Structure 1
Amino acid sequence: MMISPGAGHTYPMVPLGWALQLAGHEVLVASCGPGLLMGEAGVRCVDVAPGLSLTQMQGKLARHRPDVIARLNNDALDPDYHETIGMAVAGALRLQPDMVEAMIRTAEEWRPDVIVYSPLLTPALVAAAKLGIPAVRNEFGLVRTDDSPRLMREMHGELFEAHGVDLPEVTATIDITPPSMGVIEPDSWQMAAIPFNGGGVLPSDAYDYLVRAERDTPRVAVTFGSGPPPLETARVVRNIVAAAPDMDAEFVLAAPNVDLDDLGPLPRNVTTLGWAPLVSLMSRSSLVIHHGGPGSAFGAIMSGLPQIIPSFGGLGRPLIMDAVAGRGVGMAVPPEEVGRELLESVLADEKMRTAALEVREEIRGLPTPSDVVGRLGELVENSGGRAG
């Protein structure tokens, strides 16, 4: 497996890593930074760029290509959104040649039978082509990267040429998007999303609050992902804290990446947990407010919860907001509209909750990661390789 160094890029691939190992296959993950979270989930990793994270890659891209960042931040208005994503990823990889070459070198040394990779990760395509093996893209879900091999071949052509290869002869795509929330390409392999937000020991105070504490009011979970929060996050949090005292609900801020010091003393019905596994929090909540990441969106759906997404700009978020709002499982609103009126309206919206439960059942009926492992074996066998 080759994974971009971001938690949101890593977690969707954990269930397939588990399934491959349970089927007796040997798995190695080539990544760095947050991509090595696969190791905490029990999958062997190799660090191809010690200390490097997706956040650092984005920062370097912003310094060298502010024009690309500007396009991403206005992507809701960009008719060439897919091309904008490809341009950003190719640019970020071009600024990290050591990581790119280390990924390719790791594949050449380990000689796998197939490479499963996170979307738009060009080194995986180059390595698969050099080894003559299939390359299988594991989509994030809700964020489409249709025909990304062709796009990355165009955007990152010098890397293919430097290694003397073209695109791999055999490619496939794993898509975890529920059919009712997006267009599924006919040749994609559908797979059920299994939310994973990290393992480890749940702090005792978090456990007491989430599991033992009795409650008779709705709970609103607030989270803004694992990376740097969007620029308008502080405004949203202030609005939520201001609305809380007048609401018959409790609020949980699971946002360790958000500075809460300027808020002063919090209302009695607002609790901060810092880090907490989202699945633990969402399973005992009534509503989720989040930054628009696919992991958070899927976590809310699999918990049968409505969700509110402030319309932050940034990579992929407009696509996720469109999918969530279009299916009726949540709302995407301007950050300034997150307040008491909106919160009470969504908490009372049974239609939205029903839609989330419908999609949850839809996901449960999709092929499992174990089913996809079987298809990977067939792909390797039919391409002249071996599975093992």
Structure 2
Amino acid sequence: MRVLFVSTPGLGHLFPMVPLAWALRARGHTILVATASDALDGAASAGLSAVDASPGFDRRALIARLREEQPELLKKRLQMRLTTLEEASGFFARMTERLVDGVVDAAQRWRPDVIVQSQVQGAGLVAAGRLGLPLVEHGFGFARTPNISQKIFEKATGAFERHGVSALPESATIDVAPASMIDGHPSGWPMRYVPYNGGRVLPDWLLEPERRPRIAVTLGTIAPDFGGVDPIRRLIELAPSVPAEFVLATGSADLSGLGTLPPNVRAAGWVPLNELLPSCAGIIHHGGAGTTLTAAACGTPQLVMPSGADRHINAAAVERRGVGISLEPEVPVSAEILHRLLDDPGLMRTAAEVRAEIAAMPAPAEVAEHVERLV
């Protein structure tokens, strides 16, 4: 069986699909990923063959240009507080237009038996409709998206009409969110969230026993492109008053504006969260779906400072279930909140409960059998 994975060009959409791709390949199937920009390299780094669905598209260069030419647009993006992903369907429709021709071309040449796409990506819908293929929509977070495909279909009419698709294809859905953390009912096939954050050579300090409680700090793969590292400035100022080691897992983000870091703050660059979090008493992050689910799967209490997009939805899920604390952008972080993240037994107990819940969900290998039966 040949399986074409279609991903929005962002690591946060690609990474949750990697374990299923691996599981299908382990069962003898052939995998190809169609995406662009950062996700293209991300797929190749995960050992998956990939094709560029939008040559020349560079997400980081686009954001840099917007920062220079339309700073108010970026500011609005950071202030966005989605309650459903349907509210951002216009953006997803535009992304569909960027990818659709390349995805359909790859599908026509490669001839897959089934398409698996990241939810909210319309190019997979077009390709499946064009070739008459079964489609699986792969969830990536806590937002419920029952009407998002219809909204994309209505707003990206040019993409569908250009390829002769007059109706949405039939589709199945994979839901990676633990049931106790969602506002509503699971969608389709439940699947255990297996954290994948890329591979790296681990630093020696991560393999040594920690001498004091450790708190991970990350802003994900996209948020620093929009707002830099300003969200953690206050945190760095408070760090000396907290008896913990803070690990800034901020990738290639420019930290120079933070000045000299306190002795108990370690700038670690890019560290896979699934390797870092088992040694951590807590994590502070921006509310990205992948980060939130990785922390939940590791049983790590969370302090979420959401910064636009679907991150307020994810932060609300954390607060509602009791696995962490949600702090609105206008509320400054305090030493008291940091001490609570470290010491609150309720957070630790509930985080452990959710970790066990996720571990009991069907593994990607089991869901791979559903994909086979669908074909």
Shift of 1:61: 8.3
Q: Could you tell me the TM-score, scaled by structure 1's length?
A: 0.88
Shift of 1:26: 0.9
Q: Is the 8 A contact 1:177 1:184 kept in 2?
A: no
C-alpha distance in structure 1 between counterparts of 2:252 and 2:323, whole Å: 26
Residue 30 (1) aligns with residue 34 (2): yes
1:350–1:359 distance in 2 versus 1, CA, 3 Å: same
Counterpart of 1:82?
85
Q: Is the 8 A contact 2:175 2:191 kept in 1?
A: yes
Identity %: 37
Q: Is the 8 A contact 1:126 1:166 kept in 2?
A: no
C-alpha distance in structure 2 between counterparts of 1:302 and 1:163, whole Å: 40
Shift of 1:107: 0.6
Residue 201 (1) aligns with residue 195 (2): no
1:162–1:112 distance in 2 versus 1, CA, 3 Å: same
Shift of 1:233: 5.7
* Structure 2 counterpart SS, 1:283: helix
Q: Is the 8 A contact 2:284 2:304 kept in 1?
A: yes
Deviations along 1:126-163, one digit per CA (max 9) or x if unpaired, are 11011111111001021332232211111112221122
Aligned-partner residue type, residue 206 of structure 2: L
Counterpart of 2:362?
367
1:167–1:73 distance in 2 versus 1, CA, 3 Å: farther
How do 1:244-323 and structure 2 match up within 5 A?
244-312=239-307, 314-323=308-317
- Say how many residue pairs are matched: 369
Q: Could you tell me the TM-score, scaled by structure 2's length?
A: 0.90
C-alpha distance in structure 1 between counterparts of 2:142 and 2:70, whole Å: 26
How do 1:135-284 and structure 2 match up within 5 A?
135-183=135-183, 185=185, 188-202=188-202, 207-212=203-208, 214-229=209-224, 234-284=229-279
Counterpart of 1:7?
11
C-alpha distance in structure 2 between counterparts of 1:356 and 1:230, whole Å: 30
Counterpart of 2:55?
50
Shift of 1:74: 4.4
* Structure 1 counterpart SS, 2:31: coil
* Structure 2 counterpart SS, 1:17: helix
How do 1:347-366 and structure 2 match up within 5 A?
347-366=342-361
C-alpha distance in structure 2 between counterparts of 1:166 and 1:225, whole Å: 37
Deviations along 1:337-387, one digit per CA (max 9) or x if unpaired, are 21312101221111011111111111111111111111111111xxxxxxx
Aligned-partner residue type, residue 177 of structure 2: T
Counterpart of 1:386?
none
Aligned-partner residue type, residue 207 of structure 2: V
Shift of 1:111: 1.1
Which shifted more, 104-113 or 240-249?
A: 240-249
* Structure 2 counterpart SS, 1:27: strand
1:23–1:60 distance in 2 versus 1, CA, 3 Å: farther
Q: Give the gaps of 5 or more residues in structure 2.
A: none
1:127–1:323 distance in 2 versus 1, CA, 3 Å: same
Q: Is the 8 A contact 2:179 2:186 kept in 1?
A: no
Counterpart of 1:385?
none
Shift of 1:230: 7.0
Q: Give the gaps of 5 or more residues in structure 1.
A: 381-388
1:327–1:271 distance in 2 versus 1, CA, 3 Å: same
* Structure 1 counterpart SS, 2:6: coil
1:184–1:12 distance in 2 versus 1, CA, 3 Å: farther
1:73–1:28 distance in 2 versus 1, CA, 3 Å: same
Aligned-partner residue type, residue 210 of structure 2: R
* Structure 2 counterpart SS, 1:28: strand
